[in-house]
Structure 1
Amino acid sequence: MKWLLFAIIMAGLIIWWRSAHVEQNNRSTAKPKPKTPITPKLMSQCPFCGVRFPSDEGVGGYCSVAHKKAIDSRGWWGEAEWVKSPNYDERPANMPVELVLVHHISLPPGQFSGNYIADFFQNKLDPKAHPYFESIADRQVSSHFLIRRNGQVQQFVSANHRAWHAGVSDFFGRERCNDFSIGIELEGTDDLPFQPAQYTSLRELVFALKKTYPIAAYAGHSDVAPGRKTDPGIHFDWQLFSKLAEIPEKEMPYGTQKR
Structure 2
Amino acid sequence: MNATTLPASTTARRPVPARWMLTSIGSAVALGGVYAVAVLTKPGQEIEDSILRSVDGGTLLKSGRALDAISIPAILVVVGVVVLIAFVRRRPGAAFQSATLIVGSIATAQIIKAIAPRPELTESTLSNSFPSGHVTIAVAGLLALSTAFGRHLRPLIMVVGTAFAALVAEQTVAYGWHRVSDVCGACAVALLWLGIVRSAAAVWSRDRRDTVSKKAHGFTSAVLGLALVATLAAAGAIFSIGIGADMTVTMSTGPGVLVGARLLSAGVVIATAWLAWKLDRSV
Same fold (TM over 0.5): no
Query: Which of the two has greater helix per residue?
Result: 2
Q: What TM-score comes out, normalization by structure 1 length?
A: 0.31
Larger Rg: 1
Report which of the two has the higher share of strand: 1
Quick one: higher RCO (CA 8 Å, sep 6+), 1 or 2?
A: 2
What is the TM-score of this pair, normalised by structure 2?
0.29
